[in-house]
Every structure is written in C-alpha cells, then in structure tokens.
Amino acid sequence: MQKPLISVLMPVYRTDRAHLHQAIDSILNQTVKDFEFLIMDDCPTDRREDVVLSYNDNRIKYIKNPENLGIAKARNLLIDMAQGDFLAVMDHDDIAYPNRFEKQLAYMQEHLDTGICGSACRRFGDLKKKGIVSHSTNSDEIASGLFFKCMIHHPSAFIRAEVLKKNKIYYSDKYVSSNDRRLYLDIMSVSKLANLPDVLMDYRMHANMTSKQAREKIVAEQKLLRDEMLLSMGLTLDEAQKGILNDYITKGRCRIKDKEILKQVESVLSLLNKANQKSEYFPVDSFEKLCAQYLVKRCLNAAVFGRIGSKDILKKTDLKRGKVPFWLKVLNFIY
C-alpha cells in the first residue's frame, strides 16, 4: 500500500452521532484526497463503531481502545500509528472546510522550516459565543504569546510528522486541556510556528466542552504550565508575584482598582522580560514587545476600573513600548 501524504488523527469520546457524521464528512470531502483517516474510539462503554463503519472508504482506519486512555495518550498512539508526512489534527465534533488540507499543505511544502501550521476558525453551536478566532501569523509572535495563552487553535493544527518523531515530541499526559500548548512549546524549540489567516474550520461550542465542564482544573493546569515556562526561563517568582501573574497579567477578565497592584504588574512583567533576555527561551524582541503591550493594556484597565493614572509607571518602566493609545493618554491626563 502506498504511503499516504497526510494522516488525519481523530480521537472519539462520547460525541453526538450527528456531530461525528459531520466531522467525518468534512474530512472525506477535502480537495486533497491523499490521506489516511485514523479514528480512535476512546470510550469502550459507549462506542461509535456503527457511525464510523457506515462509511465505505478504505482511507478510514478505526481503532477501538479496550479501556479509556485519556486524550493525550490516545493522540500519542495515533502519532505512532500515523504513516503520513503530515499530521492533521481533527476533533470529533468540528467541521473542516474542504480546502483546509490544500491550504495548509501548500504552506508547509513552501516553508520547510515550519513544524506546525494552524488557521483561523469560526465558532458556532449552542453557546452565545460566536465569531472568528484568529491568532498572529508571525512565528516569533506565536512563540512569545504561548507564555500568556494558546496561540494555535488545536483542531486546526497541521504538523510535520518528522518534527515530532525525530525529536520524540508527544502530548504530555500531565495535562487535559493544556497538552496542546505544551506540545507547541516543544515544537517551538526545534522549528518555526505558523498560522494561516484563512478560516478553515468551524469550531463547535457546546455545554459539554472540556473548557465548560472543568474550569477549575483548567486554571490549575495553566498555572502549572506557566511554572514550567518560568523554570525554562530561569526565573523564580515568590507567591505574591505568582498571584500578580495569574490574577492580573494572564487573566483576561480582571479589574485593577489599586495602584500598588498596577506597579506590581509592571514589576513582574519587567522580571519576565529580563529573564527571557538572559535565557532566550522565547524570541527576545517579540517577547519584550508583548510584555510592553500587556503593561499598556493593564494600565488602561486600571484607568477604566480604578480611575488610576499610570503616566509615572509608563515613564519609569524599562520595557520598550510603542505609542501610548489615545484613550489612555486622555485618562492619564484626567487622573
């Protein structure tokens, strides 16, 4: 049998049957036809075998796990089974656009130094949260942003298999929701990262999503992953500084109403930047630029929610920043 160009990796776990049909159909309808489709059922007590076997397509390979392995171990088994030069991640309830593989394959074949390529996606489904999700297309910005948040939409990930297998990179089973971000950090150390601006996926939003069912566990995992990154940067923060990092810098929905908190935000961001300049764990210039952007955002937050001026903080910081936004200048003039 001829080796496939692409291996599609899709674990299945208790998904809605109609959603699973839509996911499978979207892969089989790709404009690029040279692929194998590995579907792993990771729930032995609630199989979806009848759904998968209803398709008469020899590209589909169905694997039934005798016991539940968990998402990371299931994905790792699929990586080991994959024969393709490229690995296309697919979730069991999402929809890939017909030209997804065509677009990502063309990019990866042209950019041989890139190990992974994501894309923009459109959120849809039962929840109110809709719209387009996109991230930077610049490798250094994607890498630097990983300290603060996930920068590649995982169901859209298209990975060069050799990068994983040659460097023995796998998903960490230490994590449930952050194993994708941990994977990107490992790939970052050996290759460039990319995102296409094109919307190539529909990402289904529903109440049973991991992000909705296990919020406390996700927050704990994110803190653990940040601790790993701090260790790689050679930086030790005390508990108070970690509190500032977790509650006021990386947390999107925060409200700063105390100027001392804002000063500590600047201090921690400065420490992060200095540690990275020394370790070069993240791209130095883009990481400093991102730290400066976070400082400006938190200064605007403090002005809006705490009526706190930040002109002195912005003047004294050693972070190299761009122009202060107009509205922050106005608020700093008022406060």
DSSP per position, 292-315: HHHHHHHHHHHHHHH----HHHHH
Contact 297, 262 (CB under 8 A): no
pLDDT for position 329? 62
Of the candidates 135, 118, 126, the one whose C-alpha atom is nearest the C-alpha of residue 209 is 126
Low-confidence spans in the chain with pLDDT less than 70: 1, 44, 47, 126-129, 206-214, 321-335
* DSSP-H helix ranges across the chain: 17-28, 49-53, 71-81, 100-110, 139-145, 161-166, 179-188, 210-213, 215-233, 239-244, 259-279, 284-306, 311-316, 326-334
Question: Tokens 């990481």 — which residue?
Answer: 287
Q: DSSP labels for 168-198? A: T----TT-SSSHHHHHHHHHHTTSEEEEEEE
pLDDT at 128 (0 to 100): 62
pLDDT at 210: 54
- Residue 118 phi/psi, 5-degree rounding, is -105, -170
Name the residue with tokens 């080796």.
Answer: 3
- The pLDDT of residue 251 is 87
| CB 93 within 8 Å of CB 131 | no
Q: Can you give the pLDDT at residue 327?
A: 61
pLDDT one-digit tens code per residue, 242-271:
999 999 999 878 999 999 999 999 999 999
pLDDT at residue 158, as a whole number:
98
pLDDT tens digit string along 83-123?
999 999 999 889 999 999 999 999 999 999 999 999 999 98
Q: Which residues contact 312 (CB under 8 A, 6 or more apart)?
A: none
**pLDDT at residue 206, as a whole number:** 62
Residues counted in the chain: 335
pLDDT score for 319 = 87
Residue pLDDT, tens place only, 186-205: 999 999 999 999 999 999 87
Q: Specify whether the CB–CB gap between 205 and 123 falls below 8 A.
A: yes
**How many other C-beta atoms can be found within 10 angstroms of the C-beta atom of residue 249?**
21
Q: How many CB atoms lie within 10 A of CB 278?
A: 12
